[in-house]
Amino acid sequence: MTATGEENRYLTQSSDKVPYFYPKNKIPVGIAYKNDTNKQIPSLFNPLTIKNLKLNNIRIGVSPMCTYSTAHDGPDKGKSTPFHLVHYGSYAVQGTGLIIVEASAIDPNGRLAPEDLGIWSDEHALALKPVVEFAHAQGVKIGIQIGHGGRKSSRTATYNAMQRGIGKAEFGWSDVPGAIVGPSPINYDEESFVTPTELSVEQIQDLVQKFGDAAKRARDISGFDFVEIHGAHGYLLNSFLSKTSNKRTDQYGGSFENRIRFLLEIIDVVKDDHQPLFVRVSGSELAPQLEGSWTIEDTVKLSDYLIEHGVDVLDVSSGGNSSLAERRKTGQGFQVPLAKAVKDHVGDKLLVATVGKITEANFANDVIKNGEADIVLVGKAFLRNPALVWKWADDLDVRVKHTNQYEWPYYYPPFK
């Protein structure tokens, strides 16, 4: 029998975003209710449109964080597992504005560690689809960071040991001739990492295409809402940007324009007419003592090129390209000044995301309110508390939509 009329008010409908029964949320999880309960919506919970993508009245996102939780060899090497559904689902069900899935390799040899996530085949992209579907069932936007580890590939997972390159005996490939690559034969750390093989122009062009293919899989097979290119933390693209790691004399080295060429070529093949494109960079190499190190001034200069090439969001982090870099400061929002420097320069022409030890609601709200950044990305604080959005909403005295299964014990009866 089909329920009609008054009975329909109480009929639980299923979301059409997943291939199984899931109670449909009538409005996206995490959105701030617009009623007398919320007299004034804080800046952190204001809407934001990124190209054709509208965030659910919330500027808080989960920063990409590697979990090193895939098979390190065999047919399932690099493929998403039920862990990833639980891990990212825990953020989605709690109503974060957007999620960026961890760095996923565009090539097997580009994995940061043997347990790294990958998206170098259609099968890898299909394995990620349940994660995307579950996020969409909450009304949450989800993207994926794609990248290549370059000279820092084939290392230990961060939860196992200090960073060091590993070979075949530990399921790595640092002892395979030509497997570790970079712009120039300069290693990250003489004691712990091998010297990379300098990429040929033909190999560079092949990697450009692999980035494009990975992005297409992410959109067409996995169903992600956006893609982020990983150009930070000393991995392949970052190492091309800096003079400290790029000593090439061809079209991919030397001048500023040549050193950013690889990144721009990737942007051109990855970008899509309908979906937004994010790019993460290290705002500073944090190594002022090294001649030619990448600085915030370089990032500000780069931002003009990113605008020209159609980037929608610049995600500003720092460090990672030199083992001689200064230790990062660890105060609240210690990287916000880097994002602010870019935002002050680009104005409304480019959206800017900030990241780095942002743990307090009022601080995060002030970042948005003061125009220092457009999006606040959070890492470790979400690991500690997947319900961080709830906590920050309470701290800012704003009521937000919770998923049906969790909302009713706190707020009953629900708003009509």
Gap between the Cα atoms of 199 and 232, Å rounded: 19
- Residue type for 180, please? I
**CB neighbour burial string for 352-369, b if at least 16 within 10 angstroms, e if fewer:** bbbbbbbeebeebbbbbe
User: Using an 8 Å Cβ cutoff, are 55 and 153 in contact?
Assistant: no
**pTM across the whole model:** 0.94
The H or E element that residue 242 is part of is none
**Whether residue 235 lies in the annotated active site:** yes
What pLDDT does residue 5 have? 47
Separation in Å, CA 213 to CA 143, 209, 216, 219, 220:
16, 6, 5, 10, 10
CATH number belonging to the domain at 30-407, selected among 3.20.20.70, 3.10.20.30, 3.40.50.300, 3.20.20.240: 3.20.20.70
Please give the Cα distance from 346 to 358 (Å, whole number): 23
pLDDT at residue 30 in the model: 86
The residues pairing with 54 across neighbouring beta strands, listed in sequence order, are 49
How many other C-beta atoms lie within 10 A of the C-beta of residue 313? Answer: 26
Q: Where are the domains of the chain?
A: 30-407
Residues of the chain with pLDDT under 70: 1-11, 35-38, 324, 328-329, 411-416
Whole-angstrom distance, CA of residue 255 vs CA of residue 247: 10
Q: What is the dihedral of CA 205, 206, 212, 213, to 10 degrees?
A: 170
| Both tokens assigned to 251 | 């079209």
Which of 91, 188, 235, 252 is the catalytic position? 235
* Pair type for strands 98-105 and 351-355: unpaired
What was the pLDDT predicted at 1? 43
Cα atoms in the Cβ-side hemisphere of radius 13 Å centred on 412: 7
Q: Cα separations (Å) of 60 from 57, 115, 210?
A: 9, 28, 30
Distance CA 92, CA 139 (A): 8
